[in-house]
C-alpha cells in the first residue's frame, strides 16, 4: 500500500471516530435537557426560625408570606422548635415574609426574584 493510502485511511478513521463521538455527546446533552424539561421549573423554598428578642424560640408564631405579584398571603404556625417552611415558591416573584405573636411583630424581610438562589434561610426575630 502506498503511503498516501495509509494517510488517507488514518485520516478517514479519525473523522469517523470524531463524528461518532459528537453524535454520542449530542445525545447525552439532549437527554439531560429532556430530563430537566420533564421536571418543570425549579421551585424555591424559604425556611427559618422564629425567636424573641432574647433569642428564645417561639412556638406557635404566625409566619406570613406575601406574594408581591398576586398580593396573596400564605401563613404557617411555627412548630415546637420555632421553625417554619414554605415550599414551591415561583422563581420570578418577589415575596415578603414576617412573623407575629401576642402583639409582637418581626421586621419584614424580602425575597427578590433577582436573587438566583433556590433555598433561603431567614430567621425572624419578634420585636417589642
- List, for residues 70-117, the tens digit of each pLDDT value: 999 999 999 999 999 999 999 899 999 999 999 999 999 999 999 989
**What homologous superfamily is domain 44-125 in, according to CATH?**
Carboxypeptidase-like, regulatory domain (2.60.40.1120)
pLDDT at residue 6 greater than cutoff 60: no
Could you read off the pLDDT of 7-26 as tens digits, one per residue? 556 655 565 555 555 555 55
Question: Scanning the structure block, which residue is given the C-alpha cell 446533552?
Answer: 29
Short-list 121, 29, 128, 34, CA closest to 84 = 121
Q: Where are the domains of the chain?
A: 1-40, 44-125
Paired sense of beta strands 44-51 and 124-125, if any: parallel
Model pLDDT, residue 2: 59
Q: What angle do CA 107, 113, 106 make, to 5 degrees?
A: 10
- Does this model's pTM top 0.85? My answer is no
Q: Answer yes or no: is pLDDT of 4 > 70.
A: no
CB 80 within 8 A of CB 102: no
- pLDDT at residue 122 in the model: 96
Q: Could you tell me the pLDDT band of residue 43, with boundaries at 50, 70 and 90?
A: confident
Amino acid at each position: 500500500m502506498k503511503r498516501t493510502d495509509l494517510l488517507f485511511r488514518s485520516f478517514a478513521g479519525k473523522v469517523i471516530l470524531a463524528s461518532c463521538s459528537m453524535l454520542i455527546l449530542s445525545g447525552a446533552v439532549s437527554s439531560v435537557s429532556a430530563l430537566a424539561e420533564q421536571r418543570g421549573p425549579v421551585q424555591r423554598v424559604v425556611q427559618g426560625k422564629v425567636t424573641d428578642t432574647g433569642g428564645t424560640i417561639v412556638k406557635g408564631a404566625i409566619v406570613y408570606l406575601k406574594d408581591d405579584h398576586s398580593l396573596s398571603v400564605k401563613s404557617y404556625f411555627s412548630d415546637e422548635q420555632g421553625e417554619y417552611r414554605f415550599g414551591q415558591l415561583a422563581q420570578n416573584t418577589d415575596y415578603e415574609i414576617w412573623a407575629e405573636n401576642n402583639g409582637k411583630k418581626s421586621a419584614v424581610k424580602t425575597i427578590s426574584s433577582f436573587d438566583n438562589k433556590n433555598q433561603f434561610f431567614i430567621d425572624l426575630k419578634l420585636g417589642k
